[in-house]
Structure 1
Amino acid sequence: MFAGAEYQRRTALARAAMDAASVDLLLIDSGELLAWATGYTVSETMYRAAFLPREGEAWFTLRALDEAPCREKSWISDVVGFKDTEDAVAAVAASIVAHGFARARIGLDTRSYSMNADTFMRLTAMLPEAHVVPMPGLSDSLRWVKSEAEIAVLRQASKIADKAMLAIAQQTKPGMTTRDAAAIASGIFLREGADTGEVGPVVKASGSHEFLHGVFKTEAIGEGDIVHVELIPRVGNYGARMMRPVMVGTPSAELSVTAAALVALQDRQIAAMKPGALARDVDAIMRQGALDAGLRPDYENVTAYTLGLYTRTPRTSDFSRVFLPTSDWALQEGIVFHVYTTAEGLGFSETVVVERDGGKRLTKAARSILGAISDS
């Protein structure tokens, strides 16, 4: 999907982190970092890992059944396959020994969901002469800042989200169900080049913000209902996200005022997303602003989190960087966030990249309560 120069850039970043930690070999096993570093990723049906030496050629160790797709998708030519009858962790350890790193300083991400306690203990027992160096969080931090090539893919995904959101707003009408609305988006995802037809929550909104993680089910849509639509198209595993409220009929004056207030606060927040800005200060624009305006009685959830590459993992959102009052880290140019807010049954969110002069929205759909077709 990406040119060779992009993978060279990524390899250089990984090796710089290795230099800082004084490690000889980097073990890569999280699904996202595998895709980012090698161009190929695969599920954890059986343990697998790629290896990047500080000097020398990288290699990949995985099921023999996955060798062919790995060779097709990855820039790595040294692919070691093991039989399903073999012990996967033992095969990975054996490949380390075979490549001459039995006594090396081996860096690995102890927060990787693939590196569970059993795998860690077995690997260290099988490599008694190696020195394991914990590099917690590396699988996420290496990927925070996006290249222009990555942002271009996120822009493609954002356009798909825009098109699908507009179609839902235009086609939803009384008598349809939330499943019907989700199917509209799913069809557009597939026709426009998204990886899958999976959409986010499409549920009837109620309360203040409790609907955000509502369970998807078949709900009839009637006059006056607000449908909360969150779209999460992925292109080449890079996912954009956007939320909008879609209402059948005309919103009340009170709802329209609330929507305008939320959007105005979020616009201020996005404008403040400049390199060097503290995340907690950017967070406060939305959080404190919504509380001061009486839009919510409390505000305990994050107001943004990192976006980028998603694979088949136990997590559906990347919270390695979030906006909270305790977020004492500075923004960097090129990081992409899902910026979101909710109140009074309304949810608005955008895919936003940090640029030199502030945040830039990659999603472009109208920022208002979108109107569905009414029978009246």
Structure 2
Amino acid sequence: MFSNINATKDRPRDTPEVAPAAGRRSAWPMPTYLAVGRGHCMAYRTVGNPQGEPWLLVHGGPGSSCQPGMLAPLDLARQWAIAPDQRGCGASRPRGKTAASTTQALVADLEALRRHLGVERWSLLAGSWGTVVALAYAQAHPHRVRRLVLRGAFALSRREVGGLLQPSRRVQQTLVREAAWPAAPGVPLPATLARLRQLLQSGTPGVAGRRVLRRWALLESACVSNGMRRALLRAVMQTPAARASAMRCDWATLRRRQRQAQASRHRLAMHPSDRAALHKFRIQAHYLQHRGFVRPGALDAAVLGLARLGVPVDWVHGTCDAVCPPANSRAWAALGRRLAPQQVTLTEPLSGHLGGEPGMLAALRAVVRRHG
């Protein structure tokens, strides 16, 4: 069905688009497609200097996609960004499809993209769920990886997943109760995930399905907002006024969007934002129900394996992250340092979970450009 999607190939790497001038933001280009098998076509974009250091951007989710803001840590006059959307995500086709979607398949897709672009070795910049994919890729293809920069590492733990789907009382207080939401005290997490996946299978979800989509989006936003709020309260006392002001603006913008989403949560018609949420959370439920298709202990093994091979890993985690606990990165950084103390760093900026928060963005820029 999709045999003609990737008929238009990228220009060869030695004759690509002109690199942007230093200090100027590049436009976010239209995607190119690469057929990766089993009916999937992966969308990807390339931005920056194709003669420079190649960086693979690995987005979070599961179910999200690469966004223009992910380019911000890079110096695009000297670095080349490669930004693919994972199977079923973003501009990849077909959207929202979970068949033949596993973490191992995502790793194979990234390696197929590397070969397609003629990249010998690249560095990986990954965030949240993307850190799981990046570690899996680096473990499978360590000699293709220069270094890893991993933001807000996700450990696939019940604490993290339960904290989102069955949130704390503080988070619940910011939201109106939704009767259709299957997570409740005493309901096991696997049963909640199974019910969520069942509700999201239809291409045109009913009233309960639409309310679940909107509730999930609100819960995700509330957890992110909680981390931003905690960081802001500390920033008022600890950081320059300009940075605290920027953090306050970001938090206020997110809270305004939350209020708008709350006000429209009971609309009957399917909105374009509902369609995007359906694709995203269908994929997310699929991966979370299968614990990311990652065996217990596999992430620890990947960290140790990379340390033995001397692959540099920079962990960057917001001290107020309310989605993925900072303890994740602290533990893995300590594990890697046992074998390769000179190859592992840990940076903990005053921020929440998002890569675009002022403290986090400053830290990522410093780390990404440190060895440039």
Work out whether the TM-score is over 0.5.
Answer: no
TM-score by length of 1: 0.29
Q: Which has the higher helix share?
A: 2
TM-score by length of 2: 0.29
